């Protein structure tokens, strides 16, 4: 078997690739960005590239000769960097500190003044691990299939170092002036970044290898820093990680007098309910539909994405990021469109698209069938029957988690006095649409408040004051964990919540 020349036309990069090698794997090894939310299983259709002018899925293509490859043009993504303002007195132990929030989709770095406690600047990028899978399960599975590989660890650390250099450059300081770095992220992101085996997250009882906060020499984690300390906030349970602790830290969740529900809706829906007396958390696998990954024309919140929509009298009104032509739809847009079509009666309460337009397709057994769709007026973007089903599955997972958390606390829905929506999707989505499709109990609509990147705010607090880091270490110990996967009642609730509210 010989080698072939693979030329990436976008940047005129030339790769020598073994005969028969998977093209997506070759692109991954070259550290080039290409979405593959399904982890290369050929299901999501997002890793489309042009090979010698022909569109193919990179994950389904073997290199069998010299080829010319054109990757998709990079869209300008909208990355949430701001959160609620949480303040603390800086301890002044470090002149400059850097706080990271490592999300499944994005990575944000905040450069902090360690003396005043103020944010100087920030930098962000898409998480480069998306090439290995759009959700945490796909990435954990990749690591399990390649136990000796450090690819996932190395690519996120490289991204963190690049953001550190960018933030330092913006502030006009040297990287070595930064002597403290903090990090929050969900349990999988935490383990993969720290080089900890994530296998325990996929086997009963689905618990992390490491719960406690971690403090390490900074150089051992990020070699560009000659000295200093690296701090990782603690994890609570399987898939309820340091990011949730960061949210609780920044909201002072353990001091709440009234019953409060905090939700971070994403690939994994992490939720905490309670007050100063008792706190219970859970995680529910919503899947990547809210980030556009399982939607036929889904995309991230980038230029060209439909991000909001409403039904006005007899037609659909919608907004496109950047104001130009719509090329796809992001999670908040799908949520709005489905809520609007429910209002118009185009989708019924069971989730059926009541349209006459359909297209032929072949199912997994080879049978020819037809699938209904709704064409968004004036665009080439469709919402298919399968898209509606994906949102039903995702919203039911979130709603079932909420219902069971309220029950575990021995409360009723009306007892919840405040709902805090954290994270990017929670910030951009319409609470009214979320309630209309039944993802959040409709009775809670007037109590909903978006709090932005609260996890990042928690990381910032721990960066400028060591007592906040110690507080985070204690905070996670007082949280009970509700393991939904082991509850027969979860599947019952899940089935009940698949339908949309009759209205």
Supply the CATH number for residue 51's domain.
Answer: 3.10.20.30
Residue at 83 is within a domain? no
175: confidence class by pLDDT, cuts 50, 70, 90: very high
**Sign (positive or negative) of CA dihedral 94, 168, 105, 85:** positive
Of 76-85, 147-156, 188-197, 246-255, which range is least confident? 76-85
> Which domain range does residue 232 map to?
96-251+455-477
| CATH of residue 162 | 3.30.420.480
Q: 153 falls in which pLDDT band (50, 70, 90)?
A: very high
16 phi and psi angles, rounded to 5 deg: -95, 120
Q: Which of 409, 412, 400 is nearest to 493 (CA)?
A: 400
Q: Is the Cβ–Cβ distance between 392 and 351 less than 8 Å?
A: yes
Q: How far is CA 50 from CA 10, 54, 481, in A?
A: 11, 5, 46
Strands 3-8 and 67-70: parallel
The pLDDT assigned to 408 comes to 97
* Number of domains forming the structure of the chain: 2
Q: Is the pLDDT of residue 391 over 90?
A: yes
Indicate whether 390 belongs to any domain. Answer: no
pLDDT of amino acid 83: 52
Same domain, 63 and 112: no
63 in a domain, yes or no?
yes
pLDDT at 85 exceeding the cut of 60 = no
Element (H, E) at 426: helix 423-428
C-beta of residue 17 within 8 angstroms of C-beta of residue 51: no
Tokens 């439909």, residue located: 306
Report residue 113 CA to chain centroid gap: 28
| Residue 42 shares a structural domain with residue 153 | no
Residues 118 and 159 in one domain: yes
DSSP label of 296? T
**What is the sign of the dihedral through the CA atoms of 3, 54, 129 and 166?**
positive
Strand partners, 304: none
Band the pLDDT of 22: cuts 50, 70, 90: confident
For residue 15, pLDDT over 90 is answered with: no
Q: Are residues 129 and 31 in the same domain?
A: no
- What percentage of the chain reaches a pLDDT higher than 90? 65
- What span, in angstroms and rounded, lies between the C-alpha atoms of 397 and 375? 27
pLDDT at position 74, please?
Answer: 65
132 part of a folded domain: yes
Record the pTM: 0.83
Q: Which residues contact 457 (CB under 8 A, 6 or more apart)?
A: 83, 84, 85, 86, 246, 249, 250
**Same domain membership, residue 196 and residue 130:** yes
Residue 121 has pLDDT above 60, yes or no: yes
Answer yes or no: do 175 and 56 share one domain. no
For residues 201, 288, 246 and 303, what is the CA-based torsion angle, rounded to 10 degrees?
Answer: 150
Q: What residues pair up with 97 in beta bridges, in sequence order?
A: 112, 180
**Coil, helix or strand for 126?**
strand
Q: Are residues 102 and 47 in the same domain?
A: no
Q: Tell whether 360 is covered by a domain.
A: no
Q: How far from 227 is each of 232, 233, 337, CA to CA, in Å? A: 17, 20, 51
Q: Please state the rounded mean pLDDT for residues 211-216.
A: 96
pLDDT digits (tens, 9 = 90+) for 301-355: 888 999 999 999 899 999 999 999 999 999 999 999 999 999 999 999 999 999 9
Would you state the structure tokens that stand for residue 65, as one six-digit string?
């000769």
**Is 216 a member of any domain?**
yes
Among candidate residues 107, 130, 105, 128, the one with its CA nearest the CA of residue 44: 130
The pLDDT of residue 409 is above 70: yes
Dist. CA 341–CA 339, nearest whole Å: 6
* Contact residues for 75 (Cβ-Cβ < 8 A; gap 6+): 299, 300, 302, 303, 304, 305
Collapsing DSSP to helix, strand or coil, 23 comes out as helix
Residue 75's pLDDT is: 56
| Mean of pLDDT over the chain | 90
For 480, residues 6+ apart whose C-beta sits below 8 A from its C-beta are 278, 279, 280, 281, 408
**Are residues 183 and 37 part of one domain?**
no
Is residue 226 in a domain?
A: yes
- The whole-angstrom distance between residue 126's C-alpha and the CA centroid of its chain comes to 10
Q: How many CB atoms lie within 10 A of CB 369?
A: 11
41 plus 106 within the same structural domain: no
Question: Is residue 391 a contact partner of residue 289, using CB atoms and an 8 Å limit?
Answer: yes
293 within a domain of the structure (yes/no): no
Distance from C-alpha of 472 to C-alpha of 458, rounded to nearest angstrom: 9
**Whether residue 134 is found in the same domain as residue 204:** yes
Neighbours of 52 (CB within 10 A): 11
More confident of the two residues 272 and 300: 272
Domain shared by 198 and 244, yes or no: yes
Q: Are residues 173 and 125 in the same domain?
A: yes
């Amino acid at each position: 078997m010989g080698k072939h020349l693979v030329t990436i036309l976008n940047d005129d990069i030339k790769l020598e690739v073994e005969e028969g090698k998977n093209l997506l794997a070759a692109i991954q090894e070259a550290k080039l960005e290409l979405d593959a939310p399904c982890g290369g299983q050929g299901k999501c259709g997002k890793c489309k590239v042009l090979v010698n002018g022909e569109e193919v899925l990179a994950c389904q293509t073997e290199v069998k000769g010299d080829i010319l490859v054109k990757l998709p043009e990079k869209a300008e993504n909208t990355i949430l960097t701001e959160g609620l303002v949480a303040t603390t007195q800086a301890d002044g132990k470090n002149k400059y500190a850097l706080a990271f929030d490592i999300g499944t989709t994005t990575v944000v770095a905040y450069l902090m003044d360690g003396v005043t406690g103020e944010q100087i600047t920030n930098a962000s990028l898409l998480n480069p691990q998306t090439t290995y899978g759009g959700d945490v399960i796909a990435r954990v599975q990749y690591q399990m299939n390649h136990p000796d590989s450090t690819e996932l660890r190395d690519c996120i650390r490289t991204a963190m170092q690049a953001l550190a250099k960018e933030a330092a450059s913006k502030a006009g300081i040297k990287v070595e002036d930064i002597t403290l770095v903090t990090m929050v992220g969900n349990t999988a992101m935490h383990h993969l970044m720290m080089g900890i085996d994530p296998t325990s997250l996929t086997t009963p009882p689905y618990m992390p290898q490491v719960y406690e906060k971690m403090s390490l020499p900074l150089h051992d984690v990020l070699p560009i820093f000659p000295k200093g300390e690296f701090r990782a906030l603690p994890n609570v349970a399987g898939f309820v990680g340091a990011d949730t602790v960061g949210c609780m830290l920044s909201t002072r969740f353990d001091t709440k007098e009234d019953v409060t529900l905090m939700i971070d809706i994403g690939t994994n829906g992490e939720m905490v309910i309670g007050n100063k007396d008792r706190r219970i958390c859970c995680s529910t696998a919503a899947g990547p539909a809210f980030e556009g990954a399982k939607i036929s024309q889904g995309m991230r919140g980038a230029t060209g994405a439909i991000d909001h929509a409403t039904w006005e009298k007899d037609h659909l009104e919608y907004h496109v990021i950047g104001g130009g032509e719509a090329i796809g739809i992001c999670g908040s847009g799908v949520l709005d469109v489905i809520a609007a079509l429910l209002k118009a009666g185009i989708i019924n309460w069971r989730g059926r698209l009541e349209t006459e337009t359909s297209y032929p397709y072949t199912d997994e057994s080879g049978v020819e069938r037809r699938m209904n769709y709704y064409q968004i007026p004036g665009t080439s973007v469709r919402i298919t029957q399968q898209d509606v089903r994906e949102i039903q599955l995702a919203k039911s997972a979130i709603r079932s988690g909420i219902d069971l958390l309220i029950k575990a606390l021995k409360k009723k829905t009306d007892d919840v006095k405040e709902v805090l929506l954290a994270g990017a999707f929670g910030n951009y989505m319409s609470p009214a649409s979320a309630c209309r499709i039944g993802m959040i109990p409709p009775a809670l609509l007037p109590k909903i408040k978006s709090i932005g990147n609260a996890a990042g705010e928690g990381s910032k607090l721990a960066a400028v004051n060591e007592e906040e880091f110690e507080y985070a270490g204690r905070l996670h110990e007082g949280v009970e964990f509700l393991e939904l996967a082991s509850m027969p009642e979860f599947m019952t609730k899940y089935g009940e919540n698949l339908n949309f509210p009759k209205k």
